[in-house]
Each structure stands twice: as C-alpha cells, then as structure tokens.
Structure 1
Amino acid sequence: MLSFSFYNSTMTNNNLIQKAETVLNNNFKEDKGFTIPCEGLYPFQWNWDSGFIAIGFAHYDATKAKREIEALLSAQWENGFIPHIVFHNDSDTYFPGPDFHQSKLHPLASKTHRTTGMTQPPVLGFVLKELYDIIEDKVDILNFIKRNIDKVYNNHEHFYTYRDPNKEGLVYIYHNWESGTDNSPIWDDIWATMDPPKYKFERRDTTHVDAAQRPTNREYDYYLHLIEIAKEHNYDDAKIAELSPFLVQDPLFNAMLIKSNAALIELYGLIGNSDDKIKTLKQWQTKAIKRFNEKLFNEKLGAYVHYDLRNEKQIEYLSSSSFAPIFADIPNEERVETIVKTMMKKFGTEDRYLCASFDPESDRFNPKKYWRGPVWINLNWLLYRGLKAYGFYDLSNRVKKDSIELIEKYGFYEYFDSRKEVKENAGYGGNNFSWSAALLIDFLKS
C-alpha cells in the first residue's frame, strides 16, 4: 500500500506537471511552430528560451519539441549565426522590434526571417542530446538530429571563427543581451566607461511588468547604443570587435558552448561517419577548457568571473554565471570544491533559496530586479545538473527542491525573490513563463 505522503506528493507533482503543460501549450504558436516566453512581454521566439522549452516538450510532445528547434534554425544566417530573437510574427507589445534591429544590414542575414543581429548562450548542442535522451522513439529523434546537427555545428564554427579574435578558444559577446543575463550588475562598470545619447523610445516592457522589476531607461540607452554601433558597421564581427565598448568573455556563454561541443561529439559518434567534425570539436574543446580555467577563474573570489576583453581585465563580481561552468564539466575536482564552498558561503545561507543571480552580499544586489539578484529556474536547472554530475547529491537536491517550491508557492514566473522571509508574492517578471514551466517538468521527471 502507498503511504499517504507518497500518494500526496505524487498527486501534487502530477498537478504541477499538468499546469506546466498548460502553460507551454498556451504559449505555443501552432501556425508558426514556436513558443513565446510569455504573453505580451515577450511575443516572439527567443533563442535559448526555445532550447529549454524543447526539453519540456520532449517529455510529452516530441513533435512540438522538434518544431521548436526547427523554427529557430529556420532563421539561421548563411554564415551559421543563430540570432537571439526571430520575429516570426508582428506585435506591438515589445521594443525594440525588427524595424529597429534591421538584421538585413548584414549581407548573410536570413533572407526569409526578420531577426536581431545578436545571439544568446548557445544551448542547442546539449539540447539536442537532451531530446535524444528523453524521447522514446530513438530512431525518429536520431533522424531529426541527423537533419539538424550540422546547423548547430556551423553555429559553433561561426563563434570560433569570428568571435575569438585571440584564437584562444574563448568567444566574446558584444551586447549584454547576448549573455542572457541582461541587466546584471556585472555590466555596471562597462556602462561607466560609456556616455551614450539619451534615445527617444517608448518602453513596452513596463506596460506589462512593474518598472521596479525591469532595467531603467538609462540602461536602455546603453543597450540601444551598442546596437547602433553594430548597425553602423552592418553587424560585421571584425568591426564590432574593433570598435564596441562592450566586449566580454562571459563564463555562462562559453560554458554553454563547451557543454554543447561535448554533446555534439557524443551525437556525431552515434550518427557515425563524422570523424572530421569530431576531431575539430575535440580541438575546440581542449583549447577552450584550458583557457577558460586559466583566464576566467578568480582565486580571490573562488569562482569564475567575466573578462572585459576591451579593457583586458577580469570583472570581479560573483553571479550565478560564476557557477555555470560546473554544468559543462570545466573545473577539476579540487576547483569544484572551492566553487561550491564559495556558492554556499555567499548564496546558500539557510534564509535564502538557491541560487540568486547576483552576490547577495554585494551593495549592487537587488532581489526583485531581473538579473540583479532574483532566482532564475534555468540557471538552477544548470546548477542542479552540474552538481549532481560532480557527486554533490544533497546540494543538487536542494537546488531542485528550492526551484519546485518557488513555482509551487508563487506560480510559473520569470524569476523569484531569493529571500525566504518575503511575505508578499515573490514571483516577478512575466507570469506563465515558458522555460519555468518546461524545466519544472524536467525537474519532476528526472
């Protein structure tokens, strides 16, 4: 006989999964085959969102998981670049839209889709491996991967060819939106070196979400200025590397690339007849992991940090990105012990949920403001997987438990307050947020 507690837990989990599936199904655009992150606030297709969303779909609707990836790859540029937003549809609820970005300025931009001229953390490689592991029909999913894996490989080749000016195995981002951690305090010191004009624009995000939870208008001036520089030079990578005041080697971005390299090696091994690509991927891996550990680890802080390539210095702040390399098997056993100690000392006190997106002990920490402090489910999912792989089972289970508890308590929000004593609703940003729903499904089924 099942115990009541087990039965009750199973009922609760099944209920949560049903709610998560409803969120994903409601946000899926059947006519275009992609999923919006949430209604109003994010009405288009976002790059890394779609990767995480596909993982959720894989557990109950393999067709939607595959369509999600195909919709994103349909907008890939001729040079292998995969943009961070694909404007499949029209909407007036988001700024800046396609008319501002003007991706067509680049001669190799998609001829069939309007997009942005920037990218996001490259998750598709490891997402394809996740789909293979989850979906039961191995023949069908492997055939799908065979049709699409070279597109992901070409994206990685683009990064190492055009975004690695020192040929050291670490690629740069030229805009904070490419990091995925849009308004992180990490960027504050770079903004201090810039003095962009005050642009005239109409914010759309603050009509959907409390402005206290979003970047300021002045921050948007920096964001738009970086895009204007890129547009002025037709999104040419070489010119951007030469002229952009924002040029950063991001530990989260590079860790996702390294993890995806490893996944492509495994998948090409399953497919066969791919020795040349596997050889190249292994060469990228060896160089990237070595340089990552040499250049991005900060001994004083006991974790990985961002590197300001424009000014040739580390940016010495801790964020959830500092721990993401655990997911990509980058640190050795000794170093991972150091990183975990740092995380627990700064982020893992008993009065907090793991893992805040920025150092809670910093004067720049803001528990309600986007990437300046709140907990994000996607970063927690990466940490959970990484900690588990290194054998930190109790800690990985805490990250999983905290993530589920936040959603169960507050709903499928975009991000959450890390402080346990908060009495009001501590779910912030967009509600019915797709990757929160998708990754909850994976948490409960893993």
Structure 2
Amino acid sequence: MNVTRERASTVLAGNWLGASTVPSRSLYPHQWSWDSAFIAFGLRHLSPERARRELLTLFSAQWADGRVPHIVFDPDTPAEAYFPGPSFWHAGRTSGLVQPPVHARAALAVHEAEPDHAFLAALYPQLVAWHDHLRTHRDAGGRGLVAIVHPWESGMDNSPVWDRSLERVPPATGFVRRDLEHGAPGDRPSDDDYGRYVRLAAEYRDSGYRDIGRFAVEDPGFNALLADAELALAEIAEELGLPSAGHREAAARVEKALQETLWDDAAGFFFARDVHTGSLTREYTCAGLLPLVLPGLAVAPALLATATGPRFRLGRVHGVPSYDLTAPGFDPGRYWRGPSWFNVGWLVRQGLLRHGEHVLAARLRDDLVETASRTGFAEYVDPLTGAGHGTRSFSWTAALTVDLLSERT
C-alpha cells in the first residue's frame, strides 16, 4: 500500500467511533454533517461498509421536517469537550443548524465503489426529504435559492463574506470557548465573531428553529452543491428504476437562479447575497468558485479565468485559497480568511474535470496529496507556503487524500 494512503487510513481508523467518524479527536469530537460526506468518499476505498455506516448514522439523526443537523453528538463524549454542546441546542442529540447538501453525491460514490441497492433504497427517500426541506423552508428570497441562517451552515464559518451581515448581530458573552484549548488563537475566529455566532444560534434555537431570522444569506457554494446533489439524486433514482427527470429539473432551476441572481458578469464571479438588504456582498471567497462543479455552467470560462487570475492563482499556490489573495484582509492562517482547505480543493478539482481542465486538475491533485502528507493531514494550510494550520490528523483531509490516490492508481 502507498505509504501516504496507509498513513491516511490510520488517521481514519483512529477517528472512527464505531458508527461514525469524528473530524478530529480533540477539536471536533462529534459527527459533523458535511465532514461525514467527504469522509465517505475516502472510506469507500478502504471499507465500503464503513462508508455506508457513516452516512446511515448521520441520517438516523434526520429531523421529522427533513433537515439533516450539522452535528450529531456522541453520547460518550464529555459535555464540556465542545461548545456549543447538546445542552445548548435543546434538540436532543443534535444541533439545529444544517450544512451543505453534499450527501447525495457521496452516497452515489459509495454505491459505485461497491454496488448496494438496498443502501441506496434506504437513503433515497431521506435525501429527497432533506432537499425538500431546504427548498420549502429556506427560499427566503423567493428566487429558488436556499438561504443559510447562520455562517456555520455554509461550512465556511469565519469567511469575510459574512462580516457585513453580522454587523447587526451583537456578540453574546458569558460562554467558554473550547476551540481555543486545541487551536492557536491566531488561526481561529475572533472573540467578537464567535460571540456573534453564539448569539445567532441562540436566537434560532429560541425561535423554535423557525426560518428566517436576522441573518439570511444566499450562498453560491451551498446552492451550487445543492444543484449538484440533485444531479446525483437523478442518478440514484435511475439506479433504483425511479423517475429522475424531476431531480434534473430541480438542478436546472437552482443553476438558473444562481446565474441570474448571484453572478456578476463584469467581475466574472459568483457573490453571496444578503436577503434582507438585497445586495451582493462583493467579497471573492472560495464559495464563489464552487459552481464549477456544475457540468453545464454557461459562465464556466469566465469563472475559470477568475480562479486562475491574481485573486486565487489556482495551480500556482497550494490548494484553493479561501479568500482573495489581493484583498487587504487576506490572512493565510486564520480560519476561512485565506487558508486553503482540502475539501474545497477536492471540489474545485471535480469542477475542473467536468469542464475539461485536465492538466490543471492533475496539478491540483498532486499538490493536495503532497501537502496533506507533508503536514500530517492538517485541517487547512497557508496557500503561499503550504504550512499546516489548525488541528492535524483531520479526517476529511485524510479521506480525500485516499480518494485522490485511489483515483490515480
């Protein structure tokens, strides 16, 4: 076995709880929603049974309204190990927020590694309910796009794109941050930012998880992944002998709304939109590159030009910077304000392949594998130097490395 693959496999084995995988034993000691999807992409090469279990465990915590919670808490982990923990959310064993819907694509990939129609048949109606929840409860702007109600729902928690929308949220106080016990303060969100996240989460909880609150943003990354997930659901439906046209139509509607609402032709980029003000937030973040995963994206050439230009320098830096390299606020080490994350690099690479950019995709793949191995599977890295930041032995970094290595061989 390739040495890097073997080391990555050891990371995943060490983070396995028996029914799911924690992102990190120290910093994130529970099951996270989109983490588990990315982890399943890697586990399918090592143990398809574990990959299936990963997704089924997550969906066993699905709410009656269809939402898939962003955290499923491990009952054997001490309550003080993570904040905000289960007692904060008043939701039993889960949180009340969500994360990007990458699960249908992961389920399809797991099935392709080892066909199991019973697995697909069990998960398909839950995936349909999940997407229906987003369409039904989160179309705050009335344009067919999903709005997130908290920065944590984007998966890109501390991105500068949320700053303006968060200005109207006063920071909460009186809580203890557990993340600083496991990460350098210079790599983590500021106290004020974290206080705003806690305030928003508490307001959402106290409303009985009614959408929409004072934070509502249409995120291009979240919506692009939803459109791609509908395309994956169409393939799953076909595998099960079910009608698939509705899923393809749903994907097309989201893609059309993305281009009509969030695309700026002059900038050659997708920007987030604050639903309450109706304005685009003109910050160049990696979320605006994720529509590349859509194979029929009409504006892909212009978006690729932005990706390879000075703001992201794709193919000339390590991974995909999470924030504009030319922006005054670019920080190569602070959470989502500059560092490159492996899941984003993996997703952008999928987009490059779908648009025929094979040479650039190969360059990105090689960099991701080398950087992951050299940094001990770091949570994220400095895009300019490749230095590791955040926690090490991070599960999705290890899992996506396995996936890339398996594809290469």
TM-score bucket of the superposed structures, by smaller chain = over 0.9
Query: Hey, what does 2:29 align to over in structure 1?
Result: 43
Given that residues 43 and 94 in structure 1 are in contact (C-alpha distance below 8 angstroms), is that contact kept between their aligned partners in structure 2?
yes
1:219 corresponds, among 183, 193, 197, to 193
Residues in 2 aligned to 1:251 and 1:416: alpha-carbon distance in whole angstroms: 23
SS at match of 1:307: strand
Segment of structure 1 superposing worse, 373-382 or 299-308: 299-308
Contact 1:121–1:257 (CA<8 Å) still a contact in 2? yes
What letter is aligned with 1:315?
A: T
Maintained 8 Å contact 2:171/2:198: no
Q: Is the CA contact 2:48–2:113 (under 8 Å) kept in the aligned structure 1?
A: no
Unmatched tracts of structure 2, length 5 or more: none
After superposition, give the CA deviation of every residue in 1:324-359 in whole Å (9 maximum; x if it has no partner).
Answer: 111122522xx2111111111121177622310110
Q: Does 1:29 align with 2:17?
A: yes
CA contact (8 A) 1:83 1:118 kept: yes
Q: Is the 8 Å Cα contact of residues 320 and 357 (structure 1) preserved in structure 2?
A: yes
Out of 270, 278, 284, the residue aligned to residue 312 of structure 1 is 278
Q: Is the 8 A contact 1:301 1:318 kept in 2?
A: no
Aligned residue runs from structure 1 range 267-346, under 5 A: 267-272=236-241, 274-275=242-243, 278-329=244-295, 331-332=297-298, 335-345=299-309, 346=311
For residue 402 of structure 1, report the CA deviation from its aligned partner.
Answer: 1.5
- Of 177, 197, 201, the residue aligned with 2:175 is 201
Instruction: After superposition, give the CA deviation of every residue in 1:121-153 in whole Å (9 maximum; x if it has no partner).
Output: 011111111112222xx2xx2221111111011
Residue type matched to 2:380 in 1? Y
The CA deviation string for residues 401-434 of structure 1, in whole angstroms up to 9 with x for no partner, is: 12112112221010000013x7xxx111111000
| Structure 1 position 20 matched with structure 2 position 38 | no
Matches within 5 A, 1:162-181: 162-181=137-156
* 1:253, distance to aligned residue in structure 2 (A): 0.6
Task: Give yes or no for contact 1:168–1:287 (8 Å, CA) kept in 2.
Answer: no
Does residue 191 of the first structure (1) align with residue 160 of the second (2)? no
* Residue in 2 that maps onto 1:260: 229
Q: In 1, are the aligned partners of 2:339 and 2:381 still within 8 Å (CA)?
A: yes
1:118-133 matches, within 5 Å, as 118-133=97-112
Secondary structure of 2:72's partner?
strand
Q: CA deviation at 1:197?
A: 4.5
Change (3 A) 1:318 1:207: same
Q: Does 1:96 align with 2:62?
A: no
- 1:7 aligns to what? none
Q: Is the 8 A contact 2:262 2:272 kept in 1?
A: yes
**8 Å contact from structure 2 (residues 37, 106) kept in 1:** yes
Deviations 1:58-103 (A, max 9, x none): 0010111011011101100011110000013233221110111112
Question: What is the number of residues matched between the two proteins?
Answer: 404
Deviation for aligned residue 1:286: 2.6
Q: What is the CA–CA distance in structure 2 between the aligned matches of 1:349 and 1:234, rounded to whole Å?
A: 42
Q: Secondary structure of the residue that 2:280 maps to in structure 1? A: strand
Structure-to-structure mapping, 1:334-373, within 5 angstroms: 335-345=299-309, 346-348=311-313, 352-373=317-338
Q: Does 1:228 align with 2:202?
A: yes
Range 20-29 or range 407-416, more displaced: 407-416
For normalisation by structure 1, the TM-score amounts to: 0.88
Shift of 1:435: 0.2
Q: 2:130 maps to what in 1?
A: 155
Which residue number in structure 1 is paired with residue 95 of structure 2?
A: 116
User: Among residues 50, 53, 61, which one is paired with 2:39 in the alignment?
Assistant: 53
Contact in 1 for aligned 2:315/2:364 (Cα 8 Å) = no
Which residue of the partner structure matches residue 216 of structure 2?
A: 247
Q: Which shows bigger deviation, 142-151 or 41-50?
A: 142-151
The residue aligned with 1:4 is none
In 1: Cα distance, 2:146 partner to 2:98 partner? 12
Q: Secondary structure at the match of 2:319?
A: coil
Structure 1 SS opposite 2:292: helix
| 2:394 aligned partner | 433
> Secondary structure at 1:29's aligned position in 2?
coil
User: In 2, distance between residues paired with 1:350 and 1:159?
Assistant: 34
CA contact (8 A) 1:169 1:284 kept: no
Q: Report what 2:62 is aligned to.
A: 76
SS of corresponding position for 1:115: coil
Identity percentage of aligned residues:
35
CA 1:97–1:341: 2 relative to 1, 3 Å: same
Aligned to 1:6: none
CA distance in 2, matches of 1:134, 1:416: 30
State the match for 1:381 in structure 2. 346
8 A contact 1:416–1:428 mirrored in 2: yes
Distance (Å, rounded) in 1 between the aligned partners of 2:141 and 2:185 = 40
Name the TM-score, length of structure 2 as normaliser. Answer: 0.96
- Considering only CA atoms, is the larger Rg found in Structure 1 or Structure 2? 1
Any unmatched runs of 5+ in structure 1? 1-10, 104-112
Letter in 1 for 2:306: T
Moved over 3 A (4+): none
Q: Whole-Å Cα distance in 1 between the matches of residues 318 and 74 of structure 2? A: 37
Q: Residues 209, 197 of structure 1: CA spacing in aligned structure 2 closer, same or farther, 3 A cutoff?
A: closer
Q: Are the structure 2 counterparts of residues 191 and 167 from structure 1 closer, same or farther at C-alpha, using a change threshold of 3 Å?
A: closer
